[in-house]
Structure 1
Amino acid sequence: MGNAPAPGSGDPLDIHGVVPPTITAFDEDESVDYEATAAHARFVVDRGAHGVFPLGTNGEFPLLAPEERDDVVEAVVETVGDDAPVIAGVGAPSTRQTVAHAERAEMVGADGVVVVTPYYYPLDHEGALDHYRRVAAAVDLPVYVYHIPSKTGNSLSLDTLDSLADIDNLVGLKDSSKDVPWLGQAIDAHPELTFLAGSDSLLVPGLDLGCAGMVSAVANAFPELVVDLYEAYDDGDEERARRLQSDVYEVRDALKRGPYMAGVKTALDLREVGFDPGPLRSPLRKMDDDDRAALRADLSELDLL
């Protein structure tokens, strides 16, 4: 690493660079297609991704049964685990289920676990602390917090983060709050933690703030673009990095047309990547023909197809 921020001093995995939140592929009947799921992880790693994060938001994890989630992690580890770190999403509303997923992820060889804050029920300072302490104590893996208040209903205060940082094997945080002042202060207070920017709107700004890496949905469909951005920044060519961030904004806008999260799988279809991502699992859905045609036009104009 050159110009890009270093991972946290306490992160044994040195997570950095582009870590796509890989997809869960489905057959037409919405059953999990484990082979295509693993093929997507291989697709991003072969195109320069520095790690993979199965079962993030893009992995549709809340829509999967517990055993499906465990089997997705296993399939991804088997396919790319020798070539890139696999940090597996294990979070659930209950501490008990989160611990069970974390233990299984460790058993099948994941390198680390990403623990979204519990969702649905409100979470206070003590509840958050107890949850993360219990998950971290259950495994000998590095633990990364996933902070996405817009989806979970639970945000972490800077004071709570200070307490979480005292947990021995809690080594990083993926922030999708889009709260730049919060993130800036968190990074300033905790050089021992690895911070990952969780929005394509904040790739270069995230690096400017001190994020070592980026969990990019755009990188699920166009890993080369986001890897180029990171490498340009790391090489000190910030002008090129900012130009590529402009391109990412355009791709992000194109992917956001149509139903929520439909863009990534539709773009993978349009790229003809050699595996079928299939539909999203209901109630999520893919783009209709009009949105798909518009996305094809947008991506063609950006020279991405």
Structure 2
Amino acid sequence: MTFPAPLTGVIPPVCTPLTPEREVDVPSLLRLVDHLVAGGVQGLFVLGTSSEAAYLTDRQRRLVVETVAGHVGGQLPVLAGAIDMTTPRVLDHVREVTAAGAEAVVVCAPFYTRTHPAEIARHYRLVAAGSPVPVLAYDLPVAVHTKLPGEVVLELAAEGVLAGLKDSSGDLAGFRAVVSGARDHPGITGFSVLTGSEVIVDAALAVGAHGAVPGLANVDPHGYVRLHRLGRDGDWAAARAEQDRLCGLFGMVEAGDAGRMGASSSALGAFKAALWLRGVIDCPVTAEPQVPLSEAEVERVGGFLTAAGLL
């Protein structure tokens, strides 16, 4: 199942605000969605990496999808991650998130054990056969330890198995090959190629990306929407300048001390700290067992916001 036309624009991977007790903070989540919609985004992606989906219970995952899909009410497309280790578990998630209102699902390759490209293709075919909504592939080798082969993505796109690709691999050459392959293939229609990068969106747009799914867009949706518009209009000098500003802002992901926390704790903690400092969410905590930012580290995040003109 594919889209009538490719998804385009900025589709943030929505953070999941939590209470101090680590439950989903529904009022803060609704304010975050309103903040993103006001920023001009073209869609919402819940239960991705920036949503801390890997740390949420099944009950919490469903609540997130129900909250967001119910709030936007068809105003914007809502994509939901259906991320798990095996095909049957992914299909369970597909049933849950689509029942909760998701209009498309985003699915990684199987993980835990290493898989052959033929097994990856079989996984996506089985998921698509069991999904009532379009399926996008999520290329996330840092988490699943497998780089999605471009030729497999294009083969599945031509079959109508995949409706799009969210590429968070950082491999711009491979990304370009999928963009050009999809564009030139007579049997591929409605296929969306989206970059998951914060720092090379201008380059991805220049080679033909339909849009971007950057976690930092939670913090500055206006900036990424502006960047997408500049790229769409071919104003590459202004797009480069906006991307440079956003790259500076992205420095916040290193606010956490690498000697006591992982990169994910630092990055997701920084995004939430920024949203808290901007008054969007009530509490900047991250899900267990991630290490929280210290008061001094939160101050560092504030410095990045100030430098970017957001405080």
Query: Scaled by the length of structure 1, what TM-score is found?
Result: 0.91
Gaps of 5+ in 1: 1-9
Partner of 2:77: 85
The 3-state SS of whatever aligns with 1:58 is coil
Report sequence identity in percent: 30
Q: Which runs of 5+ in 2 are unaligned?
A: 257-265
Inter-partner Cα distance in structure 1 for 2:267 and 2:205: 26
1:254 maps to which residue?
A: 252
CA contact (8 A) 1:70 1:101 kept: no
Letter in 1 for 2:142: S
- Displacement of 1:163 in angstroms is 3.0
Please tell me whether the aligned partners of residues 136 and 167 of structure 1 are also in contact (alpha carbons under 8 angstroms). no
Which residue of the other structure, out of 291, 299, 311, is the alignment partner of 1:285?
A: 291
CA drift at 1:140 = 2.5
The letter of the residue matching 2:110 is P
| Count of residue pairs brought into register by the alignment | 295
Partner of 1:127: 119
Given candidates 265, 269, 272, the residue that maps to 2:272 is 265
Residue 286 of structure 2 aligns with an amino acid whose one-letter code is: L
2:230 aligned partner, one-letter code: A
1:226 matched to which residue of 2? 224
The equivalent of 2:307 in structure 1 is 301
1:52-82 CA distance string (max 9 Å, x none) = 0001100001111223212211111001132
Q: Does 1:109 align with 2:107?
A: no
2:167 — aligned with what? 175
SS in 2 for 1:59: coil
Letter in 1 for 2:27: E
Q: Is the 8 A contact 1:24 1:277 kept in 2?
A: no
Residues in 2 aligned to 1:220 and 1:11: alpha-carbon distance in whole angstroms: 25
| Conservation of the 8 A alpha-carbon contact between 1:136 and 1:169 | yes
Distance in 2 (alpha carbons) for counterparts of 1:13 and 1:190: 13
C-alpha distance in 1, partners of 2:231/2:150? Answer: 28
1:118 shift after superposition: 2.1
CA distance in 1, matches of 2:26, 2:85: 24
TM-score, structure 2 as length reference: 0.90
How many Å separate the matches in 2 of 1:283 and 1:238?
A: 42
**CA shift for structure 1 position 228:** 1.1
Asked whether the 8 Å contact 2:44–2:76 carries over to 1, the reply is yes
**Secondary structure of residue in 2 paired with 1:150:** helix
Q: Does residue 116 of structure 2 align to residue 118 of structure 1?
A: no
TM-aligned CA distance change 1:224 to 1:162, over 3 Å: closer
Moved more, 18-27 or 257-266: 257-266
Verify: 1:212 aligned to 2:210, yes or no: yes
Counterpart AA for 2:295? D
